[in-house]
Structure 1
Amino acid sequence: MAFVLIAAAAAIITFLASRLVLRFALKRGIHPPVRERDVHSRPTPRLGGVAMCVGVIGAFGIASLIPELAGIFAEPVRIWTLLGGALAICILGVLDDLYDLDWMLKLGAQILVATGVALFGVQIVSLPIAGIVVPSSTMAITLTVLIIVLVMNAVNFIDGLDGLVAGTTIIGSAAFFGYIWVISQNLGQQNAYFSLASLITAITIGVCVGFLPVNWHPARMFMGDGGALMLGLLTAAGAIAVTGQIDIATMGGRSQILPAFIPVLLPLAILLLPLTDFALAVVRRVINGNSPFAADRKHLHHRLLDMGHSHLGAVLIFYAWTAVVSGGVLLFLIPPWGMAVSIMVVGFIVCAALTAAPVGRRIWHTFLRVLRERRAARTGLEPSTIDTTSDSQGDPR
């Protein structure tokens, strides 16, 4: 219940802050012009990250007052580092939204923030497998920085549709929180309930829930780079914080070995679409001789729109893929694993069918048009005079 209250507090603070920030932005006219790659048609404020940052800081402040969570704040330097990193990366994103900073400057600042978090906040010291330890502190810091920067940019890259990042983060973070809860029950480690990873994940969920009402299509305000980069930082920090806390020796046999890998598998599953989009974008831009961070209109969500999906439909498809992948991985906590595999296979088939639906409709309409033309050629009638009730919608293209 402590984490539910924290998530609710984060949602309320973020929602109220979003209303105030939106009013301020509209009154002062702080909204950049519509860019060629944008999918919205009217200037919209991009200061949602400011409200989300207020929600994060406020929720951490409330959490520090709850006695059951006192153990998390026993190391205040770690908490202050995470909050400072979230604030710094939010400011960087807001400046980029307002002034379009050079990509090398942005990347350098991201590395600097991630290094601070790795040194004084959270750090990968071991893999979630007994006996495997990162051999040196330098390697641990380097690996942590790489993961944080990668996740921040991956989340930022898919922030192109109303409610996309907030919704997928809610779904993925809920799955990760479920993992922490279930595994702590199985291991009998009640203190895991009050871990830093649980707190970060609960606050992340709450902040996204509070921001979603003003970001739902048609969005009145975007989270911008400030919000997306901060969510990436929190998501990565939550995953890193729980890494290495599980020992296979306590898992109770070979049937429980797979859950020990889930701290690695689940964040990858949650970020499957953002990481895929990030990788494709970098490869595409480098091949074309551009900067890896040069913006374009060829992201996965843009391709869904080009296929014929509506704005809301494309967002819901991302939600579906995220739910199937993250939920499917979470089901591997429950042996036998055949059920998890079956559910994931069925989910993949359904999601693939929904994704390809516009293409299927175009193929069907093309088939009907060709059929009408052939019938017209045989009868000598104009195609328009032949009954087309079965194709009343016409070709959507």
Structure 2
Amino acid sequence: MRDILIAAAVALVLALIGTPLAIRLFSRRGYGQMIREEGPSGHHDKRGTPTMGGTVIIVGSLIGYGVAHLASGTPPTASGLLVLFLMTGLGAVGFLDDFIKIYKQRSLGLRSGAKLMGQVLVGVVFAILVLRFPNSYGTTPAAPYLSFLRDFGPPIGVALFVIWALILIAGISNAVNLTDGLDGLASGAAVMVLASYVLIGNWQLRNSCEAVLGPNCYWVRDPLDLAVVAAAVLGGCVGFLWWNAPPARIFMGDTGSLALGGVLAGLAVTTRTQLLLLILGGLFVIITASVIIQVGFFKMTRKRVFKMAPLQHHFELSGWAETTIVVRFWLIAALCAAIGLGAFYVEWMPK
């Protein structure tokens, strides 16, 4: 528990102090957000707001995690390092995308194919490595199974597992990216999912098969360290959100949204709750579904279901204030996280 508190506190303080420094640095260098012409007209006032603020979350999280281990005198674990690798790798892809937008002064950075290839490259390395590094009990950070509240069904094999992990990583990272359209929306929703994984990691630690033998124990490697990772990123997000809340003084950009999607997907794989993430992060799923519905329906009928997709822009064009949308969507995110945690706990209860 001490490691969790230290990681969260250090990342929080670094993000609170580092974000205004990043704002000044990026403003001085002209690293301002480009706005799509076809977007809501109210967003044009945000043009020039510093972006790439996700770097603060990433750096703060990494330092917070490292300080927690220095304070406890324990080495980092394979599970924790792999999740941080996925977060940092996808953050690097997002940083490149943001930098191209700024350099070329356009609202589109990397082409979709190039961005996807970057996500695939990082995801493949993660998916292969996460099946390795067994501990003394023979437990690896993940196993070639599908999982919901724990692993289920027969093994799917390494190849299918890698493909499934890639789908999960690309899907969640792009879902967070689509949600990052209003000030504080994505980072606030991510905080609730990360808080859920702090609780899940603690629960799996207390009921680990290495410590407690029984039908409801968990064969999860390094659950405490996964909770530390979630806490570190949670602290970084809260510190960043202080400056990102409406009206935002800085945007996380693709640097932050892809990184947050990566850490959520990594936590889902390593805690063996892959499908549970779709409930915990239900807001991201809903917003992504709105885009799929809009595009699919338009291609079939040449008509639109929503005034604009993703869903948050539909409500903007319907006259809702930005802060109203953000707070109401946060409530939906909190409800989804509560339902997911409830399902996790009920499944564990002795039958």
Q: For the superposition of Structure 1 and Structure 2, which TM-score range results when normalised by the shorter chain?
A: 0.7 to 0.9
1:160-175 pair list within 5 angstroms: 160-175=181-196
**Distance in 1 between residues matched to 2:285 and 2:175, nearest whole Å:** 5
Residue pair 2:195, 2:234 contacting (<8 A) in 1 also:
yes
Indicate the residue corresponding to 1:239 in structure 2: 268
Q: CA offset at residue 285 of structure 1? A: 2.8
1:99-126 CA distance string (max 9 Å, x none): 4221111111111111122122465522
Deviations 1:8-55 (A, max 9, x none): 111112222211111011122221343331543132111211222211
User: 1:333 and 1:116 mapped to 2: Cα distance?
Assistant: 29
Map 1:75-86 to 2 at 5 A.
Answer: 78=82, 81-82=85-86, 84-86=88-90
TM-score (norm 2): 0.78
RMSD: 3.0
* Mapped pair 1:266 → 2:285: no
Match of 1:53 among 46, 54, 58: 58
Question: Residues 268 and 87 of structure 1: is their aligned pair in 2 closer, same or farther, counting only changes over 3 Å?
Answer: closer
Residue matched to 2:46: 42
Cα distance in 2 between the residues matched to 1:271 and 1:76 = 20
3-state DSSP class of the match of 1:217?
coil
- Does the CA-based 8 Å contact 1:155-1:165 persist in structure 2? yes
* Contact 1:34-1:42 at 8 Å conserved across structures: yes
- Counterparts of 1:307-386 in structure 2, within 5 Å, are 307-333=318-344
What do the CA deviations read for 1:183-216 (whole angstroms, capped 9, x no partner)? 4334576697753421221122111111001101
Per-residue deviation, 1:286: 5.0
Q: Is the 8 A contact 1:11 1:206 kept in 2?
A: yes
Asked whether the equivalents of residues 183 and 248 of structure 2 are also in contact (C-alpha less than 8 Å), the reply is yes
Q: Deviations over 1:202-255 (max 9, x none)?
A: 122111111001101000000011100000000100111111xxxxxxxxxxxx
SS in 2 for 1:65: helix
Assess if the C-alpha contact under 8 Å between 1:181 and 1:193 holds in 2: no
Alignment equivalent of 1:181, drawn from 168, 186, 202 = 202
Q: Which residues of 2 match residues 134-283 of structure 1 at below 5 A?
A: 134-186=155-207, 194-243=223-272, 263-283=273-293
**Conserved in 1, the CA contact under 8 Å of 2:58 and 2:88?**
no
For 1:226 and 1:324, locate their aligned partners in 2 and report how far apart those are by CA, in whole Å: 27
Pairwise CA distance, 1:276: 2.4
- Alpha carbons of 1:305 and 1:6: their partners in 2 closer, same or farther (altered >3 Å)? same
Query: 3-state SS of the aligned residue for 1:314?
Result: helix
Q: Deviations over 1:286-324 (max 9, x none)?
A: 55459xxxxx94211112223332111100111111111
Match of 1:67 among 49, 67, 72: 72
Report the equivalent of 1:95: 99
By percentage of residues, which structure has more helix? 1
Is 1:126 matched with 2:145? yes
Give the match for residue 391 of structure 1: none
- Deviation of 1:275 after TM superposition, in Å, equals 1.8
User: Quick check: 1:93–1:229 contact (8 Å CA) kept in 2?
Assistant: no
Q: Secondary structure at the match of 1:237?
A: helix
State the alpha-carbon separation in 1 of the partners of residues 255 and 151 from structure 2: 37
**Residues 96 and 225 of structure 1 are in contact (CA less than 8 Å); yes or no, is this contact kept in structure 2?**
no
Instruction: Return the alpha-carbon distance in structure 2 between the equivalents of residues 230 and 90 of structure 1.
Output: 8
2-structure distance, mates of 1:76, 1:31: 33
Task: Tell me whether 33-42 or 108-117 shows the greater mean CA deviation.
Answer: 33-42
Q: Does the Cα contact within 8 Å between 1:53 and 1:90 map onto a contact in 2?
A: no
List gaps (5 residues or longer) in structure 1: 244-262, 291-295, 338-397
Deviation of 1:335 after TM superposition, in Å, equals 5.3
User: What SS is found at the alignment partner of 2:267?
Assistant: helix
Contact 1:266 1:326 in 2 (8 A): no
Shift of 1:325: 1.8
The aligned residue for residue 3 of structure 1 is: 4
In structure 1, give the amino acid aligned to 2:168.
Answer: I
Q: Does 1:301 align with 2:312?
A: yes
Report the residue type matching 1:73 in the other structure. Answer: T
- Name the SS of the counterpart of 2:77 in structure 1: helix
Counterpart Cα distance in 1 of 2:90 and 2:68: 17
User: How far apart are the structure 2 equivalents of 1:233 and 1:336?
Assistant: 26
Segment drifting more, 173-182 vs 87-96: 87-96
Q: TM-score, normalised by structure 1?
A: 0.70
SS state at 1:195 partner: helix
Is the CA contact (8 Å cut-off) linking 2:51 and 2:250 kept in structure 1?
A: yes
Which is further off, 116-125 or 146-155?
Answer: 116-125
Indicate the SS of the match to 1:308: coil
| Partner in structure 2 of residue 108 of structure 1 | 117
State the number of aligned residues. 312
Contact 1:158 1:164 in 2 (8 A): yes
CA shift in 2, pair 1:314/1:135, >3 Å: same
- In structure 2, what is the Cα distance between the partners aligned to 1:225 and 1:133? 37
Aligned residue for 1:18? 19
